[in-house]
Copies of this chain bind each other. A is one copy, B any other.
Amino acid sequence: MTHNSSLGPEAVVLLSGGLDSATCLLIAQSEGFGVLALSFDYGQRHAIELERARGLAEHYGARCHRVVKLDFPAPAASTLTDRSRSVPRHALGADAIPSTYVPARNTLFLAHALAWAEGEGCRDIFVGANALDYSGYPDCRPEFLEAFERVANLGTRAGVQGDRFRVRAPLIAMTKAEIVRRAGELGLDFSRTISCYDPGAVGEPCGACDSCLLREKGFREAGVVDPTRG
């Protein structure tokens, strides 16, 4: 970490390399925050998203980008981390919570973000969670994020001293089309993002996983061409 925190207020932004977290990064910057970007290498099959996260952090001038290697406790519990199973295709909405669910993932990601934020003296944590056009993961819902904010303010020195943390989820109530439009207004280069859970060797999206289907729906409804689809 070699950023200069005298440059103004900072926020930790969870940056996966996907459309939503990239939009979040630009929203945080539009609010005047210097961005401390945080990504996780947790054995995900779509590890190419880390390359996209690095590219986004660099291109959009994050003050710092940290990739945490997460010794994930339960790789067999999700098709995103167990490569012997397949990611569901054309199954969006078929299941309340799909097999791509990763146990306690956002709790872990937010816990790391919180520790970093407290250490760096910043109090805003941005997460690209969305509870409308999403896969049905429980840890993307507003009630979860509110509960985590409460944990943050009860379980930290800053929080109990009244210097409160804010878990910011600006996309939480937006449709994917609204996210696409907002990202466009903020100047996001969509070709730098990847949303697919099961991409090919050079990052080409499968076009059939939940995340590809949601992205496709968003671009279609927004009337915007997705440059990542041929």
Known contacts: A138-B156, A144-B151. The answer to whether A73 contacts B103 by CB under 8 A is: no
Q: Is the interface of A mostly helix, strand, loop or mixed?
A: helix
Interface size on A, residues (CB 8 A): 43
- The answer to whether B147 and A155 touch across the interface, beta carbons within 8 angstroms, is yes
CB distance from A142 to the nearest CB of B (A): 10
This chain: copies in complex = 2
Known contacts: A143-B154, A155-B148. The answer to whether A115 contacts B108 by CB under 8 A is: yes
Known contacts: A151-B147, A151-B148. The answer to whether A116 contacts B157 by CB under 8 A is: no
Alpha-carbon separation in the docked complex, A33 to B105 (Å): 25
Q: A189 on the interface (CB 8 Å rule)?
A: no
Alpha-carbon separation in the docked complex, A160 to B9 (Å): 36
Scan residues 44-96 of chain A and give those whose CB is less than 8 A from a CB of chain B: 66, 68-74, 76-77
- The answer to whether A159 and B147 touch across the interface, beta carbons within 8 angstroms, is no
Interface string of A97-115 (1 = CB under 8 A from B): 1000101111110111011
